[in-house]
Chains A and B, each alone.
Chain A
Amino acid sequence: MKTRKKDRVSVFMIINVFFLSLFGLITLLPFMHVIAKAFSGEGPVIAGLVTFWPKQFQIDTVLYVLKKPEFLDSFRVTVIVTIVGTAIAMFLTVTAAYPLSKPSLRGRKIFLYIFVFIMLFHAGMVPNYLLFRSLRLTNTIWALIFSGTFSVFNMFVVKNYFESLPDSVEEAAKIDGASNAYILVKVVLPMSTPVLATVTLFYGVAFWNNYMSGVLYITDASLKPLQQYLYDLINEALNLFDETGNIRDMDKAMNLTGESVRSATIVVSTFPILLLYPFLQKYFVKGITIGSVKG
């Protein structure tokens, strides 16, 4: 991170670390609770006896979840959608952010207005469904990839970053006769690793967590996104009774998945995407020092 003179250990440091650790603890505990439930026997889970450590430890539940064909299908779908979708999204985002970061771009204001407009105005379920239907994309994996691909917010983040880079390096390259595209790829992007890592993370997580696209565009069970699978599992337990005190669907109620199965599913559905951030963390450092060109 930063190069700093080593400070002496001060009161501030102690207090700082203390409060930060406290915060870290309270954010960690609920996760530990869910993990503990995933590895506990059903009995203690139902009785609410599991706090942060498994009781009646067993790994059968997790293995059971991992072997379920529905889980594997949804997992595969979501992995593909996340990787391909993020790649496409990053491409669209970076190619849009760069020109818009140039104040000299003619028509810049108009483009910006368009993007802000679509950031705020959404058409709703029906038109989106109908669009995908006319494009023959319903019940295909492309529907999952193209829904929510481009985020104006993320584009603004990248544009912001590009704007904060000093012009000197780019101008030097321009004098040497480089085209805009060349500058973007060879000069700007290598200097932008922090923001690229950030936005990749944002997109990756957004794709991984997207479940609405499954509800809207998919009826084929083997294309159900992972989060929809998980959400359905959790919801089944919540929606058992109707508002008059009667059971809605007896067969569903009789075959309800157990709470530990639900916890196990949460754990295995969330774990992979958690690995993305540590992987990207090393990019949160400036790639090339921009101080290389003075003036």
Chain B
Amino acid sequence: MKGKKKTYKRKETFGQYFKKNYDLYLLLLPSLVFVIIFNIIPLYGITLAFKDYNMFAAETPWKSIGASEWVGFKYFINVFGRPDFKRALANTLIISTYKIIFNFPLPIIFAIFLNEVKSIKFQKGLQLIVYLPHFLSWAVVAGIFVTLLSSTGVVNTFLESLGFEKVKFMMDNSVFRKVLVFSDAWKEVGWSSIIYFAAIAGLDQECYESAIVDGANRFQQMWYITIPGLLPTIVLMLIIRIGNIMDAGFSQIFAMYNPTVYESADIIGTYVYRMGLGKMDFCTGTAVGLFNSLIGLILVLSSNRVAKRLTGKSIW
């Protein structure tokens, strides 16, 4: 069904291989050049995390990066040493983890079950609708949620009519995280399911046909054909999502939070933002970014290894 990873005996030298396949390297060239120019060269600026950046230190700001003073871990300590940072770090990890556990499977489930609907028109039509929230920015969406979830909003009125007490959705630390997770799901499930639809479309029909002939019902087909077929995509998406764990959703939280829920929802991004208001502090931002990237790298590497061992699929 799928091409197995071949093991290569080094029969040819690199030179022989290159001669035969130089066009492969040629194909690779444009993206490499692009990436070197636009992604790798700017990385020189990561040194700013360890320097006191003075833009005017040399004739150009570029040279000023080199000319600025080394200060070691000053900016890291400045952020990490603050009392509220621990809370921010904890919130970042907790909220991200909640989102991964609850929101990661949803697009997959959605894609699979929508695929089960007979009517192609229904499938296509629904696909077009559910991805709409992705296109509204959080600033716009937050206003809608505030109206819905305020103490006079629709949800609370409904709860009251059922005899329950009102819930302060956006002002209660014990509830707010759930609001974040749920609203994020609502906004992104449709969009995230697109890639799974495409993957399902790419699955080999023959497997399904033979399975049906063998008498498999729809759930068995899902379990034995669809899900394994989606596995490479799922693994890729999951590894990358885990690599992004330090991004708990800055735009969302920034648009929806308020001082009464800082305790449960203040993440590193929003905390650093408030700290840096009015200051022109490139170095702190770079330091925090570097920290986030390092954690991301460690997680990506380890989850890739785990995925390889568990499922045989991995990014590389």
Question: Which residues of A line the B interface, CB within 8 A?
Answer: 1-7, 12-13, 16-17, 19-21, 23-24, 26-28, 30-31, 33-34, 48, 91-93, 95-96, 98-100, 102-106, 108-109, 111-128, 130-131, 134, 146-147, 149-150, 153, 155-157, 160-161, 163-167, 179-181, 184, 194-195, 197-198, 201, 205, 209, 230-231, 234-235, 238, 266, 270, 273-274, 277-278, 281, 284-286, 289-291
Contacts and interface: CB of A to CB of B under 8 A. Distances in A.
B56 interface: no
Contacts of B40: 114, 118
A26 B290 CA distance: 38
A112 B316 contact: yes
Contact of B34 (A117, A125, A149, A238): A149
Interface stretch (B74-82, B132-140, B161-169, B262-270): B132-140
Given A1-B120, A16-B113, A124-B289, 20 more contacts: A13-B116, A20-B110, A24-B130, A27-B130, A27-B133, A28-B129, A33-B144, A98-B24, A99-B25, A123-B42, A126-B48, A127-B45, A131-B37, A149-B38, A160-B236, A179-B23, A194-B198, A285-B201, A290-B204, A291-B206
Contacts, number: 262
A148 B64 CA distance: 25
Contact of A34 (B25, B60, B140): B140
Nearest to B239: A156
A91 B140 contact: no
Interface string B204-228: 1110110010000010000000000
Interface in B241-286: 243, 282, 285-286
Given A17-B122, A30-B133, A153-B240, A166 B2 contact: yes
Interface of B: 1-3, 5-6, 8, 14, 17-18, 21, 23-32, 34-35, 37-46, 48, 53, 60-62, 65, 110, 113-118, 120, 122-124, 126-137, 139-141, 144, 147, 186, 189-190, 194-195, 197-199, 201-202, 204-206, 208-209, 212, 218, 232-233, 236, 240, 243, 282, 285-286, 289-290, 293, 296-297, 300, 315-316
Contacts of B316: 108-109, 112-113, 116
Contact of A126 (B53, B140, B147, B190): B53
Q: Which of B26, B42, B290: most chain A CB closer than 10 A?
A: B42
B51 to A, nearest CB: 11
A26 B24 contact: no
Contacts of A121: 43, 46, 290, 293, 297
B132 A274 contact: yes
B24 A99 contact: yes
Given A34-B140, A121-B293, A149-B34, A281 B195 contact: no
12 contacts: A91-B30, A95-B28, A122-B293, A123-B42, A124-B45, A149-B34, A156-B236, A160-B233, A180-B21, A180-B27, A235-B139, A291-B204
B285 A3 contact: no
B315 A112 contact: yes
A115 to B, nearest CB: 7
Contacts of B117: 13, 16-17, 20
A96 to B, nearest CB: 4
Contacts of A19: 113
A111 B136 CA distance: 36
A235 B225 CA distance: 48
B3 A116 contact: no
Given A160-B233, A161-B202, A194-B202, A24 B126 contact: yes
Nearest to A128: B42
Contact of A150 (B31, B113, B114, B202): B31
Secondary structure at chain B's binding surface: helix, strand, loop or mixed? helix
A149 B195 CA distance: 19
Secondary structure at chain A's binding surface: helix, strand, loop or mixed? helix
B162 to A, nearest CB: 19
Contacts of B195: 157, 198
A266 B315 contact: no
A111 B28 contact: yes
A92 B126 contact: no
B133 A201 contact: no
A281 B236 contact: no
Given A92-B30, A134-B62, A124 B198 contact: no
B14 to A, nearest CB: 6
A98 to B, nearest CB: 6
Contacts of A273: 135
A149 B39 CA distance: 11
B34 A150 contact: yes
B48 A1 contact: no
A163 B3 contact: yes
Contacts of B140: 34, 234, 266
Contact of A125 (B1, B21, B282): B282
A95 B33 CA distance: 12
A255 B271 CA distance: 32
A160 B53 contact: no
A1 B293 contact: no
Contacts of A181: 23, 26-27
A160 B48 CA distance: 36
